[in-house]
Amino acid sequence: MAWQGVAAEFLQVPTVTRAYTAACILTTAAVQLDLLSPFQLYFNPHLVFRKFQVWRLITSFLFFGPLGFSFFFNMLFVFRYCRLLEEGSFRGRTADFVVMLLFGGVLMTLLGLLGGLFFLSQALVAMLVYVWSRRSPSIRVNLFGLLTIQAPFLPWALLGFSLLLGNSILVDLLGITVGHVYYFLEDVFPNQPGGKRLLLTPNFLKLLLDTPEEDPNYQPLPEEQQ
């Protein structure tokens, strides 16, 4: 019964958040069960463009490492901040949310080539947290029950936490950088004199993913009212 309640609750989660979270969990489970190896998942430009192993462009964003504290920590932030964005500033704009993720993924992949990064999942988390924090500047966040900070400081607090754990902060910096580029292009530049939106969502994505807005002047037929 408990599992049924969890499953029912999970189905209430927005589509993109649900799909990405499930993909990350299934990927990690496959590695734990030795169905997959991390060597089949990491980003390798030679294998992508010479051997046509194009799935690596996606799987490098799905693997957070073996089961452990780091995995659960990252999954918590994936689920929370991906959901907050999808239900908040992207509510009713699933296509725009997908474009944000695609933009971030492409830019992280290009920049990751320069830094020799093999897994970019944590960078994507940092991007999600950064964009949410800049769009929610007045919200106060309780960090691990130890510290309460304003939302815009959250990405930097997490970067400091990674540093304390002895992890490389290069991946976090990459996510913050890409998140800032997206925030500037979407929220800052269009509001400047002569500015405009540069990241345009294709109409076919809107037709495919967005829920049509209801016409406030629509009068339902009698049979529809029944």
For the chain, the average pLDDT equals 85
| Share of residues in the chain with pLDDT > 90 (%) | 43
Q: What is the predicted pLDDT for the residue at 70?
A: 81
CB-CB contact of 62 with 23 (8 Å): yes
CB-CB contact of 39 with 53 (8 Å): no
Dihedral Cα 39, 40, 42, 48, nearest 10 deg: 130
Q: What is the predicted pLDDT for the residue at 118?
A: 87
Q: For residue 106, what is the DSSP state?
A: H
pLDDT digits (tens, 9 = 90+) for 45-81: 889 888 899 999 999 999 988 888 888 888 888 999 9
Whether pLDDT at 221 is above 80:
no
Give the separation between CA 224 and CA 226, rounded to whole angstroms.
Answer: 5
For 121-131, what is the mean pLDDT? Answer: 94
Whether pLDDT at 101 is above 90:
yes
Q: Predicted confidence band at 224 (pLDDT cuts at 50, 70, 90)?
A: very low
For 76-93, what is the mean pLDDT? Answer: 90
For 204-213, what is the mean pLDDT? Answer: 80
Provide the H-helix boundaries in 35-153: 45-49, 56-59, 69-87, 94-115, 121-135
